[in-house]
Every structure is written in C-alpha cells, then in structure tokens.
Amino acid sequence: MAIAQSVSAQELKQKIETRNARIGVIGMGYVGLPLALLFSEQRFNVTGFDIDPAKVATLNEGGSYIFRIPATEIQSAREQGFCATSNYADIAQMDVVAICVPTPLSEFHEPDLSYIQQTAKAIAPHLREGQLIILESTTYPGTTEEVLIPILETNPSGLKVARDADSKGFHAAFSPEREDPGNDTVARRDIPKVVGGVGPVALELASAVYGTIFDRTVPVSSPAAAEMTKLLENIYRCVNIALVNELKQLCQRMGIDIFEVIDAAKTKPFGFQAFYPGPGLGGHCIPIDPFYLSWKARQFDFRTRFIELAGEVNLAMPYYVIEQTAAALNEHGKPLKNSRILVLGMSYKRDVDDLRESPSLTIIELLRQRGSIVSYNDPYFAYVGQGRHYNLDMHCTPLDDLAQYDCVLIVTDHSDYDYPRIAREAQLIVDTRNATKGIVSDKIVRC
C-alpha cells in the first residue's frame, strides 16, 4: 500500500513507473553489468560507471568482457541508450544510483570497505535532493547507515538522508545482489529481490524500482536486516560446505567415497540438501561473508565460534589438496619438489570466467613454494597475472602432451574438458571435484 510522500518522492516514483527515471549503476563487473542490462531491457535510460577505462571503452564499443554476457546484449542495451563513463559528475543527472562495487577482505581477513568509501566520496559532490542511492555490495549489517550515509551527508549542499515522508534530502536503501554465475536454470528477473530502506519512503521507492525488473521484491524493515539476509544466505552455504569438506577427509581415511554418500543421502525427500566438497571456496561472497559477520560481531562482544570454525575449515582446504598431491606423487616415487604439475581450471567455479578468491590461485602459489614446476590450463583464461593477493604471471598451457606432467591436478571441473582422454594420457591425476566419476583407473586419486 502506498504511503504519504514528499513531492520529490512522488515525482521519482512516477518516473520509475513510466520508465523515465535515469538509472546509474556504479561498478560494471559481475554484479553491476547484469543489473544495468536488466534495467535497459525495461527501457530505462541507463548509465554504467566504472573507474576502469578499458571496461568503459569496451562497453561503449558494444563489446563484452564477461564470458556469460554476449556482446549482443551490450549492443541491444546501447540501442536503448545505455552508455558507460568514468565521469562521476554525471551522477547529478541520475534519479537512481545502484552501487555494485567489490567488498573484499584485507590480507588479515578483515572487511575492506575502501571501494564503498571511495564511491561514496565520488557521489557526494554530485548528490541532489530526491535521488535514491542503493547499496548492493555484500557487507556486514550496519554498513549502509554507519559508513555509506555519513560520507554521502558530507555533500556540499548539506543534504541529509530522508528518514520519513516529511523529510527532504536524498533516499537510501540496501538491496543485496543475488548473482549466481554459471547458473542458466534461473532467469535473473525470477530471483526475488530483498530490499531494506532507510525509512518507509526509501523502501517504497527501492521496491518500486526493483519491481520493474524483478518478478518479486521482498521488503524488510531496515537496511541492516537486508544486509544480514545476504550474510545468512552465504554463511548457510559456507557452513554446510565446511561440513562436507571435513567429512570428506574423514571418509578418505575410512575408505568411503563421500560423493557416493552424498548422492545416497540426497534421495531423502525432506530435511536434507546436498552440498559438495572441493579444494576450497571461491567467488566474491561465500569465502568472505563469515569473516565480515565475525568481525562485526566482535563489536558487540560476541564470538561467532561456529561460523568462524567453518571459515577455518574451508580456508584449510587448499593445504589439504597439497598434502594429498604430495602423497599421491610419493606413491609414484616422486617428491613434490621439481615435479611437473598441470593444474586444470583457474576459475573458482565450473564454466565461469571468474577468478575471485579462487582456490586455484592459492594452490598454485603453495605448489611453487614447495618447489613444484607448475603450469595451468583454463579455457576462460589465456593469462593470469597479478591480483590483490596473488602474483602468478602465467600463460595458459595447451592440453597437447599430458604425459609430460608428473601429475594433473583437477581443481575446477569445466565441462569443456575431455576427462576420459585425460585419464588415458596422464601419468597421475589428483581429482578434487569428482570430475572423473565413473572412470576406473589406478592413476586417479580422488580427494
């Protein structure tokens, strides 16, 4: 039910409903670009903001740098008026601004909100009354009101956030992204959109704008509730993955196939959801969210011991892979040092071009530290250079002569790989993903 609004809020809602609102999306990455395209599909005038000039140029030329987004989608958006820019002065022309910037961990596994802070500082000089600012970046409860809004309120016009229908100023909300790279079974607009506003007007406006591109919006009482919702979703996955990762190690000692056990357990029609073990967690959210929440909890003199333990179990998995690889090589009379190892798969997840927090990065660095001669193959990455916490400087190696390697280590189970052929030609395979399921060979070690 609609609530009483200021004139500026009524005008903005009408512009949203008639598709005349100008939408700005800050951060043209794995979250921001799909969001911008959804708005463009609904005939909104959309501007994408990014500090990377190469991304801006590619988008304005009708190209794409994300594998799962074809250039034709960008070109269709361009025909609807979509453009990209690095000029934050254009924020003043936007009616709605969605912030989709990274929120990584520091090297000490503490929240790094520098991207949000820098973005807020870039927006503030161009903020105007009646604008709706929505944060989508995954973060801890309280970020919108404790970090984002205070920076926005430093704007030269002295605008404050509007907290009720009688207030003038700008509007603010939080709505967590729910992207699932590589998932082609659920359309983007079919994923319900959780929304928490600073006050009832902001909630109504944010629900209205997302209601144009998503089939369902889920309003909650505050930005903090929406922020916690996102953490719960991902920590739920993190904890259950940690459980099966720990059980995998126990099952190996007991001579039991954990994947067989999971497949049997998931036949239960109630009370069980299948999660699968692997070489470690990757992606932007699941490996990070437990540490965001545990850091925030300490401000309330509370220890999230269960959640922290799950994070520790998952962080330890790349080291477990190294131990298993060393043991497998030892069975073949070879040490880890100076062994030639081919790592299959660099991305954190099957069939996506996303390196964020990928366990492959850690595994390769650990292998190098132990003296191994490491190569990699990944159909999505011709080269892997330097990132926040890695410096590899490696080029993709073709799968021409697998016999030259002492071990082929399967870290990401891309669909493009011919696993029967790999099993035939490799001297030794260490499979962390059960990619070789059904292939019988004494050369395969599943861990």
Q: Annotated catalytic sites, by residue? A: 285
3-state class of 441 per DSSP?
Answer: coil
Nearest to 237 by CA among 288, 196, 271: 288
Is residue 51 within 8 Å of residue 27, measured between CB atoms? no
CA–CA distance, 18 with 12 (Å, rounded to integer): 10
- Quote the longest CA-to-CA distance of the chain: 78
Specify which residues 97 forms β-bridges with: 24, 133
In one-letter notation, the amino acid at residue 193 is K
Q: How far apart are the first and last CA of the chain?
A: 54
Nearest to 169 by CA among 134, 202, 207, 123: 202
Q: What is the DSSP letter of 75?
A: H
Q: What is the DSSP letter of 359?
A: H
Angle between helices 305-315 and 289-298 (to 10 degrees): 140
CA–CA distance, 356 with 348 (Å, rounded to integer): 7
**Gyration radius of the chain over CA positions:** 24
Say how far residue 349 (Cα) sits from the centre of its chain.
11
Q: What is the DSSP letter of 396?
A: P
Nearest to 213 by CA among 52, 413, 42, 51: 42
Which bin fits 376, alpha (ψ -120 to 50), beta or left (φ > 0)?
A: beta
Which own/partner contact pairs does 425-429 have at CB distance under 8 Å and 24+ positions apart? Answer: 426/402, 427/332, 427/402, 427/403, 428/328, 428/329, 428/332
3-state class of 50 per DSSP?
Answer: coil
Q: How do beta strands 132-135 and 96-99 pair? A: parallel
Residues in the chain, total:
447
Q: How do beta strands 22-26 and 96-99 pair? A: parallel
CA–CA distance, 385 with 436 (Å, rounded to integer): 29
Nearest to 440 by CA among 257, 210, 192: 257
